[in-house]
Amino acid sequence: MTPFFIHDAALAGWLTAFAGMMETTRFERGLFLCRNRRVWDYHASETRIHATVEDGQSVFYEAEIIWKGSAPGSNKAALPIKHPQRDLMHYSCTCGFGPEPCAHVAALLIYRIIDLDKKHQTRRSSGSPVLPDFDDTAYRRMFSEFRSSVQKKSPAVENFHPDKLQVRPYFDDMMHLITGQVMKNYGHDEPR
């Protein structure tokens, strides 16, 4: 199971409020589906999100959330409504669960929150890169140095001496046999 953490406090609060609106077992099932990468073909716009969600029995359902009353262009970077409210959200899923949000809708919304959180993290960190900015010539030079140092060293298998190992006496003959076969397969002499 893939763990996740919501870094943005507003998004975490939104998800917590949404979880409080639905039955706990359905939300946990949606969390399970999202964590196990069962959300496919995800699309988001300013007024709706849609995805195909794979259930535990490898059955695919089309889940969608439409934000009612949200004006296009109002808030492209976040959720169109400030707090989750049933009368401002229309849920639909081909599983036929009913008017309440099902586990597939929950998985879709959790996926959306994670997606927004990742975008938020990227925007926050884009000003100062974590990794140094190497140019191509410096990279090629370092890679060339690494390659030449590797070519100068002998493979570790050539420096292997099974006689220096301390093993149980009844494994000794079998170990020598296996080591000899491995060394022979790699084109080296029998172990010393």
The 8-class DSSP code of residue 39 comes to E
What span, in angstroms and rounded, lies between the C-alpha atoms of 19 and 185? 59
Beta-carbon contacts of 54 under 8 Å, excluding residues fewer than 6 positions away, are 33, 38, 39, 40, 60
User: What distance in Å separates the CA atoms of residue 152 and residue 74, rounded to the nearest whole number?
Assistant: 62
d(CA 190, CA 124): 58
Q: Measured between alpha carbons, how far is 52 from 54 in angstroms, rounded to an integer?
A: 7
How many C-beta neighbours within 10 Å does residue 24 have?
Answer: 9
| CA dihedral for 1, 62, 76, 109, sign (positive or negative) | negative
Residue boundaries of the structural domains of the chain? 9-125, 154-192
pTM (2 d.p.) = 0.59
Per-residue pLDDT of the chain (192 residues; tens, 9 = 90+): 455 678 888 888 888 888 888 888 999 999 999 989 999 999 988 889 999 999 988 899 999 998 886 555 544 445 666 667 777 888 899 998 777 889 999 999 999 999 888 887 766 554 444 344 445 666 677 778 877 877 777 777 677 776 776 656 667 777 788 888 888 887 776 655
